[in-house]
Amino acid sequence: MIILGIESSCDETAAAVVKDKKEVLSSIIASQIDTHKEFGGVVPEIASRIHVENISWVVARAIEESGVDWKDIDAVAITQGPGLIGCLHVGVTAAKTVAELFEKPLIPVNHLAGHIYANEMVTDMKFPLLALLVSGGNSELVYMKDAYSFEVLGETQDDAIGEAYDKVARVLNLGYPGGPKIDKLARQGQAIYALPKPKTQGKYDFSFSGLKSGVLQFVKRMERRNEEWIMEDLAASFQETALNEIFDKVRLALNDHPEIVHFVVGGGVSANSRLREMVSSLAEEYPNVEFTVPPMRCCTDNAAMIAVAGEFAAEQGRKADGWLSADASLEMM
């Protein structure tokens, strides 16, 4: 199948054409990051307006660069949610319009399913599978018994891990987005400062807001006492605590589900260099499990992953009609 994917859940307006789940014929991404940088984070109202400005040319260019004609497109896959509601509406409206105009089936896709299916672009996903989703808006452990079936084993009780990175970066005056900056600083430091270890209710759940406050309190305490502290070491201490929280739960889930044959990672935080190292050591502990971390271009928001997930969703008979509406807190099902 040749699928046109459209994505506008946050601050990237994206469209892509993908053939048979693997072959990316085109992938256009218009990022708004430079605009939002000035505000220290994504401003939802500004984001939706920029989507409106960009969506038409982004879709047109994706078709043009793919080298295929509208008549060759088999279906239109669209991110229905979760995400910022005003942003989602722009993509959904565009997708409904082209699907109606060119008489194509419309396939609703969950953004997080898209992040998981980004892995299919670089490997064949095998089941039962465990997916670790770590992004700016979500942190989840998802069990997939089969293709396109999602069971959320655990999720964050408060902040997403990417959000924690961004907030800690703000406390340290590093600018937005904070993830890559903390990653870089942490590589030059040692995790020598004790920060509060997260406490959670559910066995596989995560929590990051206490850790984030812990960093803030640490800085205030040091300033109050006029004590010296090292930024690189604080970044490393934060990162180590946050990632240990994640990998402790991943190990629990893998131990409790010995039938799992594949572990994949999705979402923007999978760009993190320490996280990638930790996945490599995990792979040594579980030789019977295949481990995949997609390359950076697949990890951050893009529409190719939506097109890929869309083909699997279509195989499951998922289809929408002209009444499809965006859903800011769409659950994974």
Question: What residues make contact with Fe ion under the rule CB under 5 A?
Answer: 135, 301
Could you tell me the smallest distance in angstroms from the CB atom of residue 70 to Mg ion?
Answer: 28
Give 11 or 240: the residue with its C-beta nearer to Mg ion: 11
Task: Read off the tokens for 181.
Answer: 């900056």
In whole angstroms, give the CA distance from residue 128 to residue 308.
19
State yes or no: residue 10 binds ligand ATP (CB under 6 A): yes
| Choice from 108, 154, 162, 310 touching ligand ATP (CB under 6 A) | 162
Site for ligand ATP in 276-315 (CB under 6 A): 300-301
Q: Which of ligand ATP, Fe ion, Mg ion, none does residue 272 bind to, with CB < 5 to 8 Å depending on kind?
A: ligand ATP
Between 209-224 and 161-171, two packed helices, what is the crossing angle to 10 degrees? 10
Could you tell me the smallest distance in angstroms from the CB atom of residue 12 to Mg ion?
Answer: 5
Q: Is 183 part of any known ligand binding site? A: yes
Could you tell me the smallest distance in angstroms from the CB atom of residue 144 to ligand ATP?
Answer: 18
Q: Rg for the chain (alpha carbons), in Å?
A: 20
State yes or no: residue 5 binds ligand ATP (CB under 6 A): no
Site for ligand ATP in 61-90 (CB under 6 A): 83
Give 162 or 214: the residue with its C-beta nearer to Fe ion: 162
Q: Is 133 part of any known ligand binding site? A: yes
Q: Which of 243, 24, 2 is nearest to 107 (CA)?
A: 2
**CB neighbour list of residue 217: distance below 8 Å, 6 or more residues apart:** none
State yes or no: residue 91 binds ligand ATP (CB under 6 A): no
**CB neighbour list of residue 272: distance below 8 Å, 6 or more residues apart:** 179, 183, 239, 243
| Choice from 4, 10, 24, 215 touching Mg ion (CB under 5 A) | 10
Q: Which of ligand ATP, Fe ion, Mg ion, none does residue 198 bind to, with CB < 5 to 8 Å depending on kind?
A: none
| Choice from 2, 5, 8, 11 touching Mg ion (CB under 5 A) | 11
Contact 28, 16 (CB under 8 A): yes
State yes or no: residue 166 binds Mg ion (CB under 5 A): no
Strands 75-81 and 106-110: parallel
Q: Is 111 part of any known ligand binding site? A: yes
| Choice from 120, 166, 301, 311 touching Mg ion (CB under 5 A) | 301
- Please give the annotated binding residues for substrate, written as ranges: 133-137, 166, 179, 183, 272
- Please give the annotated binding residues, written as ranges: 111, 115, 133-137, 166, 179, 183, 272, 301
Binding site for ligand ATP (CB under 6 A): 9-10, 83, 111, 115, 135-138, 162, 165-166, 177-180, 183, 267-269, 271-272, 300-301
- Please give the annotated binding residues for Fe cation, written as ranges: 111, 115, 301
